[in-house]
Amino acid sequence: MQLYPAIDLKDGQCVRLKQGEFKEITVYSQKPEEVAALWQSQGATFLHLVDLDGALAGRSVNDKVIKKIADTVSIPIEIGGGIRSEEAIESMLSLGVTRVIIGTKAVENPEFIRDMVKKFGPDRIVAGVDAKDGMVAVEGWEKISGISASELCNRMKEYGVRHIVYTDISRDGMLSGPNVEYTRRLTEETGMDIIASGGMSSMEDLRQLSHAGVCGAIIGKALYEKRIDLKEAIKAFEKQDHQGRI
């Protein structure tokens, strides 16, 4: 199971929110590139970035910091938040990002994702499926759409998407444990590379996701609050999986 340390960006800083609420904000570092370097030094093999300002503005806002992070680390990076046009995708890739996560646009205009997968390939484009009570939320989680998470995942699969970042909003930043059952269901129903996000709080949570056959897990607050030791987690889940496959 691939582990993704999360770095959420707001006003150029590394922060965490609770359930996506901008008034529930904790600043962890003024220098996100140093946080990225720390996670890499602890064995991270992939980073997950979110441009929170971008998610609300509908366009990328923290480009300078994103470039700084990409220049600082040598591991792949994925980023989401406000990426809603072909130009925005190209701009992110040119900053040194490995793959981009499309959320709102995937709901409002699914054909856009199909075209972008054709143009950039399925390993550059990830669909972000953010759900509350099984229904997809858009525009920085400010609006709930009329489409279910499983419906959107299946539509994305038809359009050639391979990777899905699935976030359970009610658990995000709450350290309450991920929605293992629903994530397992999405993985089994779609056969896609589902990356779980929201609520990761302990090694046991990661163990449950791993046993459920989930392909990836994003860890945010639990790392910053020192509830999960990244080195240990990588040894237990990434390394073990790789050895198991050999």
Q: Any catalytic annotation for residue 193?
A: no
Instruction: State CA 28 to chain mean position distance.
Output: 18
Structure token pair of residue 172 = 């995000």
Domain count, the chain: 1
Which residues, in sequence order, are CB contacts of 200 under 8 Å at separation 6+? Answer: 175, 177, 178, 206, 217, 218, 219, 220, 221, 222, 228
Is 107 buried (19+), middle (13-18) or exposed (0-12) by CB count in 10 A?
A: buried
Angle between helices 180-190 and 203-211 (to 10 degrees): 30
Tokens (6 digits) for 121: 């390939």
**Residue pLDDT, tens place only, 24-70:** 899 999 999 999 999 999 999 999 999 999 988 989 999 999 999 99
Catalytic one of 51, 53, 130, 205: 130
pLDDT band at residue 240 using 50, 70 and 90 as cut-offs: low
Relative orientation angle of helices 149-158 and 180-190, to the nearest 10 degrees: 30
Q: What is the mean predicted confidence (pLDDT) over 231-243?
A: 80
Residue 193 bridge partners (DSSP): 163
Distance separating alpha carbons of residues 195 and 211, to the nearest angstrom: 14
Cβ-Cβ contacts under 8 Å for 79 (sequence gap 6 or more)? 48, 49, 50, 51, 66, 92, 97, 100, 101
Q: Tell me which of 72-76, 187-191, 197-201, 238-242 is least confident.
A: 238-242
pLDDT, tens only, 120-176: 999 999 999 999 888 999 887 788 999 999 999 999 999 999 999 999 988 887 888
CATH, residue 167: 3.20.20.70
- Supply the range of the domain harboring residue 115: 2-245
CB 219 within 8 A of CB 3: yes
Between 203 and 107, the more confident residue is 203
User: Length of the chain in residues, anyone?
Assistant: 246
Q: Residue 6 and residue 56: Cα distance in Å, rounded?
A: 18
CA quadruple 182, 209, 166, 228: dihedral positive or negative? positive
Q: Which one is catalytic: 8, 53, 193, 205? A: 8
Confidence of residue 245 (pLDDT cuts 50, 70, 90): very low
- Establish whether 130 is a catalytic residue: yes
In this structure, are residues 3 and 39 in contact, taking their beta carbons and an 8 Å threshold?
Answer: no
CA distance 219 to 140: 19
- Percent of the chain exceeding pLDDT 70 equals 97
